Amino acid sequence: MAANIALVDDDRNILTSVSIAMQAEGFITRVYSDSEAALHAILENPPDLAIFDIKMPKMDGLELLRKVREKSNLPVIFLTSKDEELDEALGLAMGADDYIKKPFSQRLLIARVKSILRRTEFIKSLEEGQDDESAEPIVRGSLEMDPARHLVRWKDANVTLTVTEFMILETLAHRPGVVKSRNQLMDAAYQDDVYVDDRTIDSHIKRLRRKFREVDAEFDAIDTLYGAGYRYTE
């Protein structure tokens, strides 16, 4: 079945061009130029993935994401302008899966959409009981990860992670003490040569730390080695 994509942007030219490109790839698109109308429609009939512009009247993309996150873990990609670096960081911290700067190529956007949909579809299949026998649970000190069920626990407390966050943490936890460069983490979380910059990985790491510190204020198992990357320490 074709994936359903919700596009939210007050620029009708972008809505039209992105919608046409998505439909050419076989996706079903729903377009909204009004973020408040989009919120109601998304919560009433959730799509498979949504693409939000950040700067919009009435309700901007950040507020729209916040309200969606109260009800759903819907995958979200942000569209941002070159001068919106702070907004990008805030968006990732709030749970966006990725962001793309305007102007952007349709090919890049489609590649990222496909990459995120593949990961979320894999997780859905596992949640429906189609276990991957090769995905053995990972236990590293106080950390427990079950890749087959996308479950994470820290000191017996559940930690809810996005697909991207899970894959980054899984890569680090597989070999405790081994430094993983940003490029290695990008390869683990973003397949098919989808380009992301260093700041995207850094933002995901910040979100991981924040989520673990919500259940354990003393969490310090992810180290930063400046100029080298990150490592997990038991």
Digit-coded pLDDT (tens) for 199-212: 778 888 988 999 99
Judged against a pLDDT cut of 90, whether residue 47 lies above it is answered with yes
Tokens of 200: 């995207």
Cβ atoms within 10 Å of 109's Cβ, excluding its own: 18
Q: To 5 degrees, how large is the angle CA 6–CA 7–CA 13?
A: 150
Kindly list the distances between the CA atom of residue 83 and the CA atoms of 86, 88, 129, 198, 228, in Å, as whole numbers in the listed order. 8, 10, 44, 17, 27
Between CA 151 and CA 166 the distance in angstroms is 9
What is the band of 4 on the pLDDT scale with cuts at 50, 70, 90?
very high
- Look up the CATH architecture of domain 4-125: 3-Layer(aba) Sandwich (3.40)
132-232 has CATH 1.10.10.10 classification: yes
Give buried/exposed letters for 177-200 (b at 16+ CB in 10 A, else e). eeebebebbbebbbeeebebeeeb
What is the band of 190 on the pLDDT scale with cuts at 50, 70, 90?
low
Which position has the token pair 């040569």? Answer: 193
Relative to beta strand 49-53, strand 76-80 is: parallel
Position 106 scores a pLDDT of 87
Taking Cα atoms as reference points, which of 76, 91, 116 lies closest to residue 203? 91
| Domain map (residue ranges) of the chain | 4-125, 132-232
